[in-house]
Structure 1
Amino acid sequence: MLAADLEYFQDVQNAYAALTNLHCIITDKQGNPITQLNNDPNVFHLVYDQETFKEVLNQWTRDFSKINSAIVYDALPGVKVIICPISIQGEIEFFIFAGCLLESTSKNTVQTYFEKILQNPEKANAIFTLIQEYSPDEIQAKLRKINKMAEVLIEHLATQNMKAHLVEQEENLGELLHLIADGNIKVTAVLERFLHENTKLDFVGYARKKGHDQFVIDECILPEVSSTLKGTVFSMGEGTLGQAAATRIVRFWDHMDMDPRNLFFQQKGIYPKSLFCFPIILEKEVIGIFFGGSSQFVRLENDISRVGKLTSSLIKVIEGNRFWQKQSKNNLMKMTALNEIFQVMTDVEDVKRILLIMLDLSINLIRGPFVAVIAKQSSRNSYEMVSRGLTADQIENYSSDISNRYFHNKQNKRFYHQQPVEHITSWSSKVLEIPIAYRTECFGFLSIGLSEQMLKEDELSFLMSLTIAGGVSMHLLEATTKVKMGQTVIDLLIEHQEYIDPDHFKQATKARELIKGFSGFSTYGKINTIAVKYSCYFIKYDEQFLTNKIKNDLIIDIVREYKLVADSKLEFSQASLNVQVLSLVWTYINEDENIDFLLKINGMNLPLLNEFLAYLSHTTVVESEIMVTNKPTANEPKISKHLKLSKREIEVMELVLKGNNNREIAERLYISEHTVKNHMTNIFQKLAVNDRSQAIAKIYQMGLEPEDVS
């Protein structure tokens, strides 16, 4: 077990020991302690000496190796201990021991018994000073809490195992991509790795298409079976493999033992109860079937769906290499370029470089009117686009069009599973849009301007493989960036906070969404949206704890500075923009979304506050527009209609909303400061407010924005 896990186990044990008022210890499945007893003096050490206690723990773990949940056990006559297993995938890995306790009214009787047995009244009295009496209901309540403790630890271990598995998969993926780029890998190697990483499977294989509608199993890995499927032939639509080829749909079967189609495998001495098939499609044709199975009843769709899709994509690339090697010299040169680009892209540390590589390769292949590559920036709500053959106006129109159709359209959330689609641009040109995707995330599009001459099938296949390389490369780049930020530890701390402080977790999640929306709305200044969003969850953590855990100086600095502002040790206006936004959002949430409190913050940055209030007003207006049918008359100032201000009062209020003071307003309108004060007095009366800050708040509360006074 990792040191971090031991520390986490100890922290959880200490927390639940305090919660239950019991003495606790956690051991491995052999009874060897992995945590320290949490109280001193400890009742266990008073009852047993050091060596005897170890022997007792060893014996208890042997005796209770088959239990499924916490039990109450009479460790000694009348003295009870709670024993709870910690199981991973049905196997006990650890035990929790919590004690000691007595049933109500039995303490005097049991203590008298122990005084006789121990022949030492003082020691018996010391022991029973630490042991409390509980009613049966109270004992059951403690039993449930110890069960909950086990659930917390099981969830932590499952998360750690999942993340470790994902890291291993990413490492294997990177290695496979380099091997593919070098041309030094075959389908067999991919199958062997896949079988090794997915231990629930007993065999995997690959069938290639031969002739018009027949397939031959060319690759088959069966470590535990003497026979083999290699060389077996089946037709399109025949059996499970043939059906997957005919339907072109990924298929999973969970109860194959009684299925007549299983005869295909049984004749070869293979008896799968669970089976999967991934059709490999190239040039709009099924060129092969990637399949595998288990002799156990396993929900393969849950276990291998995602990694199976990735593996089938890798096989597709390898098989694509085989296809292109059979083509002319020109196609062979294109294939070499694709192999090289895999290697180059996976080494690139900048998204724009990846886009430029894809652009250059596409231009050299396609002699169309234009080529463009657009990608969504993962760290902010913006897009990067490179192109050749487009004017500045066309670039602006097309980037806006494609982002609205896909990235901002919830109905198209899963569009990247589709084949490339044709689209007509605003200037009436035909364009082919090919998604750049990886797993369930789309990073962007490769857009090819089409001329009267259609793309050849081998050209389209090359472009689709190019987008696969681009999607994988962008994913690896994004994953590397997250690792650099300590993302894994950050995610674990956030998940842990959801358990220990769910109320703060909910508020922090709300603050995160406000910051995300405001950062995309605001033009006041640039903030580090990712760092500020994560800081929402960590403002209650101790600074030294964060320094030791997340290793992210920016988040730590934001949290430290935020606490100084919150404790009035640093004026709001002197804080960084990251901290000003964080403080603004948290004040808004903590004060039940009453914007009047924002105006009372010492040293408030009024331009920033105006933008935040405008954002809140904007989101409210967007929701209300669905219900409104009568729009205001064009060119009619909304503020005049609602509040009946004079023309000059409107001009004054417009400058107030822009952050001008009385002197600046007087200079802008060529009037005296005294006249400005008179106008402000009239405005306060009409708005029914007492000061300038309340007037600003009133405007935004009514759903009006600065442009409404123009």
Structure 2
Amino acid sequence: METNVVFLQDVQEAYAQLLDLSLVLVDLDGNEVTDVSNFNALTKLFHTEWGHNQQYLTLVESMKSLDKSSIIDNRMGIKLVVSPILVQNKPSYYLLSGYMLEESTREHIRQYAKLHFPELKGFSEALDEIPELTEAEKAEKLNKINTLKQVIEAHLSAQKNNQSINQSFSFLHKSLEGLQKGTATASAFIEELYHQDENIDFIGLAIEKEDSCFMVDSVFGPNTEFLIDHSFVLGEGFLGHTLAALQVKFWEDVSQDPRITFFYRSGLRPKSLFCLPIFQESKVIGLLFGGSTKETLRKVDCLQSLTMHASFLSTLVTSNYLKENNQNQLLELTTFNEVFRVMTTVKDIKRVLYILVDMSINTMRGPFSCIVYRPIKHQSKIDIVSRGLTSSEINEFGYDVAVRAFSGSSSDYDLKQPLKRKTSWGVDVFELPLFFNDQLYGVLAVGLTTQHELSKYQAFLSSLAVAGSISIHLCQQQNGAGADDSIIDLLYEVMKQQNNDQHEQALKIKNHVSEFTSYLNDGNYQSLKKICGLIFFEKSLLENYLSDREMLAILTDYEQLIVQKKATRKDSEILRLVSYFVMNKEEPSVIHDLSEIRAELKEQFQAFLNQQAVVETVISLNERPVQIEETPPSKEVHSSVLKEKLNLSSREIEVLNQLMQGFNNREIASNLFISEHTVKNHITHIFQKLNVGDRAQAIAMIYKLGYVPS
């Protein structure tokens, strides 16, 4: 402004001499921008008494409605001219020109001042120097003042334009540097645009989320926060109309247009509105929009720089999209490699199913994930593992998938291809067959939301299903039938015929052993899984029929534990722990009675009992399912594994369990009664301690450590 002041002062001095008036330029806050020109006696007197900031500000405030030069009276009736200086059509300064007397008013003013302003010494003499002007003379001076006003406005507007252009180029240069360094973001660019132009009251960016559907990604300005995440389709309202037309649009006054409802719903009431499409090559991928809420914008002033900025924004959005896409592909590949490595080392099929469910629901953040699995030994039964479904939904949906996949009654079900369908309650679901070596093992079904872009996740989910299929195949090979299997099956059948209650207990023991050893994930417990249900038979009988010495050794050590002698085998301890639990009505507290069992193993078994939050269901293909076996989640999750191995705090473990159940940050904050910011901090610390980069890698790592989340 220093160069401007020198020029303005020179012009003001020249016009002051030409007009024989005192002149000064003040800003909107009442501060003098120029020094007073042509100080005469009266001006000096008034300036000494009243020429301070507050007096100027009072005058300026009373003149805000002026849009042209006007002659006004000061408190004594002496005339001065107030001229608003418009810069880019907005009052920015005021030019004050004085003083003048009307014909035959000098004596009246002298007497008035003597009576009401006796403190003004020398006023009478100073008044004599001011000439009385005719109407014609006043009009002539007013015309010359208007000429000066136009000169000042032209100069300041040119300076403002140059400043705006320089700022714009500086802004673009800075943004280009950010683009080259990879630090520029569309949101930061939009925010800077908002601060660049004082005439714009709001500005935002909408990005295409699905085919012909766009969503407000970022927006800045008062009362704009409710616009975030609002969506519209091609052709809908002002924004959709611009995208359909593929042209820059400007509306000078939209206040009465019914299409403005999109903004009104969010509490924003635009007066002027502009919309500029954002392109990726020839395809429209977004929209830059904004406007004013107080004053009408001029199309030329508004669109001149915004068109250039929209072009840069197209480049920025495209660049960020390609960068994000490459990063996502790399992350998916890294995560898949980790998941595949973990799953192919797991020796238990049910554990593989847990991993598939947790991985898929955390990747998609959808409403549910579910696996419908048919065990190789029991072709008429179907196992279901799920998160996010109610009991009735599991029965209905699981039965529908099972019939289509395994009964052979559905001709439209391709066993080798993923399929997108709808559930009976209206939720989209993506079904992926678990197919390997010409064998269909099951179906992975992942619920979708309306915001999901399936194309982004399909490749990863398909790869996950392939990894799961291979893992199931490997598990079934490892668990293949041995020489003693037929004898063991026969003994179970004999037990069922002779003592059904005992047979039921044996099945419970077998089930708990299978699940607990899967939970431990620290060794091969195949011999234990086979022999555990036969503890009700005499050992001598089993020695006559079974050739597997490993199984017999487990029973020998088990008998030692019954008489409260220390065991040498962990699998025997597990058998004693589980069988005692089952025989005492599955009451968790009884496990503390077993002094012969190591405290660490009892703690692990207690943790296992607490962790079963995943719903498991068995249904029959021959009839509609009516019964669901479900273990309700415990209110307190045992966490010794994570505390010892990862040094996680109790709160971090709570957050981790919520995260692995598929909850987003907002839901976790609500469930744990903490802020969303605190949740983000906890997740950051968890990822650092696990040395992972995202949720999917965290899940893989947790399962690798042998921990099943609650």
The bucket for the TM-score relative to the shorter chain is 0.3 to 0.5
**Larger RCO (CA within 8 A; separation ≥ 6):** 2
**TM-score under structure 1 length normalisation:** 0.40
**TM-score under structure 2 length normalisation:** 0.40
